[in-house]
Structure 1
């Protein structure tokens, strides 16, 4: 798929219309997923200012360090004028110059560095600072067919890594050793970077964000493997499977894994336009609670995914947002018994006009290696 499909030039105009509708005079976007969403430019994050100045009306200008101009010029977006600043010069007057009219309010990239926020406040002293996500959230949450295809490509790549788990996961090897093999395989499967590798065996499986440790994996221990990376497109993968190695798992584990699998399957089956995010969370949570493990389901059922691993929509209690076709998110209930073991099953799912489609297609049964 071409970069023009993933990063169409009309996004800039759509963002400008949304900026005006939100009562903002401009968006100011430093390196990150919002900048890449609008321009295709995967900008280097550093102390030298890179900033897309996107006025509600007028010409978009990308301010970059001189030494990074070639990379900016190679970005897919058209309709953006590039202005560079040599080392040793103050780039913030360039931002002010790109906004010749009165500036009452601007939207800043949500994760802009504080030193840049303060410098922009000094450069635009009369402008209220708000979050750019007020504008871009609604654009980014609805994925285009090209974006869904990119996420499906990412899902297939991470699935390919899970299918190889038997090569690495066995008793006596440490979590760190297994994680190193997995990281290499993530790159070999087509990702340009490894975003995370969780290999959590036995009692470590009860910690949802454990990581990996030097502890050897024991015979018959359940192992939670949650992995993801970034594809050349910029779009992300994220998939969790739970394995048992070298022998049968504890009986209580097999019992609650069956509950977990039922809850995950039911939640995937419940995806359709109009179902609210909190109602989808409740589908999985109610089944787990009814089985007596509600307190062991420690996190939300899911999160959106795209150019960020975690983005809107969040599938969590208290979020009344209705799902809509084109939204893409994880469905990943878990059960975690402190000091003993845990399990999680995660698929990325796209909401379609008449239901939901898994973008991860490997089996969700407990996998014995």
Structure 2
């Protein structure tokens, strides 16, 4: 394990300085001496570190005062030096227990008796590492702070919504290419290939989640995507995807019909569009998420089995474009207040008379909401 001293003064980016200041205020309110964050979204949000090496243990420790410390695999040294040279960097070699590096980093900056917040409900803090930290640093107290940054990240700045807008443009380009490719007899993988080509050509990065492309007959298999199945005339195809720019996402989905639309498709499309319009009208500052869901549900005529009609999006790394395992959804009875600057993937999903989904990314504005994605929403048939 090695420790390198910071090369320049701490983080110069004013927006990231403001994020650090706000986080420290939240830490003070919770009585935390430091936080140890492990989700790639939070590491990126605070430091700007953008890479795929987070599959190996990565942790940023932010003390109440002083510079942050970043713990990574030794192989990531060049990336860290290039992207965040001002951060104190602690590394572990292949074959070394990453917990040892984390222990040394924490011992270096957290005094005995301090309280450390950790992302105990996140996906990137192995229980074995947390157990080792507790065993090696018995004089410290440990509390869960998984949601500490949630409210800050939920409301995007003007800079962030700018990236979301660009991501929406990438999403539109990819969706239009996918729809064009969804001709009768084409394989689902050809549709997937078209979306990826357009996504990258339009300036998009690798998204946090792959495009979801499957027949409407498999609509309920919510996280299943393309295969070699040919597109059959009259059988709907569900396409859900998101462009990604600077790790910000703007998902959308459409249901298209190769050849012709079957009986019931027009009615299903009209109900889905009515639901999207109702949710869009309801989504405004000050309303509660449960009220938005109720407006959507009334417009589509029930659908009590659907668990949400949208969810918050923003920074995301694989395996998700929602930024972690906990999703702020627009759910029945939801009591989260909608605030200007939030970006939701607003979904209208119906199952009768046939399955049909239409969705867009929606930015909450001062007086309502704006749909960032713009691909035609009407019933689409590909000849």
Q: TM-score, normalised by structure 1?
A: 0.88
Equivalent residue, structure 2, for 1:72: 80
Equivalent residue, structure 2, for 1:320: 335
Aligned counterpart in structure 1 of residue 269 of structure 2, from 235, 254, 257: 257
**Superposed displacement of residue 363, structure 1:** 1.9
Equivalent residue, structure 2, for 1:30: 38
Aligned counterpart in structure 2 of residue 225 of structure 1, from 230, 239, 242: 239
Q: Residue 219 of structure 2 aligns to a residue in which SS? A: helix
Q: Residue 236 of structure 1 aligns to a residue in which SS? A: strand
In the alignment, the residues of structure 1 paired with residue 14 and residue 291 of structure 2 have an alpha-carbon distance, to the nearest angstrom, of 31
**Superposed displacement of residue 202, structure 1:** 4.0
**Superposed displacement of residue 136, structure 1:** 0.6
Output the aligned Cα RMSD. 2.5
Does 2:217 align with 1:203? yes
**Superposed displacement of residue 4, structure 1:** 7.4
Task: Decide whether aligned partners of structure 1 residues 81 and 93 sit closer, same or farther in structure 2, where only a CA change above 3 A counts.
Answer: closer
In the alignment, the residues of structure 1 paired with residue 130 and residue 205 of structure 2 have an alpha-carbon distance, to the nearest angstrom, of 30
Unaligned runs of 5+ in 2: 1-10
Q: Which runs of 4+ in 1 moved over 6 A?
A: 3-6
Does 2:288 align with 1:276? yes
Equivalent residue, structure 1, for 2:104: 93
String of CA shifts for 1:229-287, please: whole Å, max 9, x gaps: 432x111231101111112x222221122011011011112221111011111111122
In the alignment, the residues of structure 1 paired with residue 68 and residue 178 of structure 2 have an alpha-carbon distance, to the nearest angstrom, of 47
Equivalent residue, structure 1, for 2:125: 113
Q: How many equivalent pairs are there?
A: 357
**Superposed displacement of residue 211, structure 1:** 1.3
Does 2:54 align with 1:45? yes
Q: 1:206·1:336 contact (CA, 8 Å) conserved in 2?
A: no
Q: 1:202·1:217 contact (CA, 8 Å) conserved in 2?
A: no
In the alignment, the residues of structure 1 paired with residue 216 and residue 93 of structure 2 have an alpha-carbon distance, to the nearest angstrom, of 54
Q: 2:250·2:345 contact (CA, 8 Å) conserved in 1?
A: no
Task: Decide whether aligned partners of structure 1 residues 94 and 138 sit closer, same or farther in structure 2, where only a CA change above 3 A counts.
Answer: same
String of CA shifts for 1:260-319, please: whole Å, max 9, x gaps: 1011011112221111011111111122235xxx15x53311111111222553211132
Q: 1:272·1:351 contact (CA, 8 Å) conserved in 2?
A: yes
Equivalent residue, structure 1, for 2:5: none
Equivalent residue, structure 2, for 1:81: 88
Q: 2:250·2:373 contact (CA, 8 Å) conserved in 1?
A: no
Unaligned runs of 5+ in 1: none
In the alignment, the residues of structure 2 paired with residue 77 and residue 352 of structure 1 have an alpha-carbon distance, to the nearest angstrom, of 36
Q: Residue 355 of structure 2 aligns to a residue in which SS? A: strand
**Superposed displacement of residue 204, structure 1:** 2.0
String of CA shifts for 1:12-48, please: whole Å, max 9, x gaps: 222122112122221112251011100001251244x
In the alignment, the residues of structure 2 paired with residue 87 and residue 245 of structure 1 have an alpha-carbon distance, to the nearest angstrom, of 51
In the alignment, the residues of structure 2 paired with residue 197 and residue 173 of structure 1 have an alpha-carbon distance, to the nearest angstrom, of 17
Aligned counterpart in structure 2 of residue 63 of structure 1, from 58, 71, 92: 71
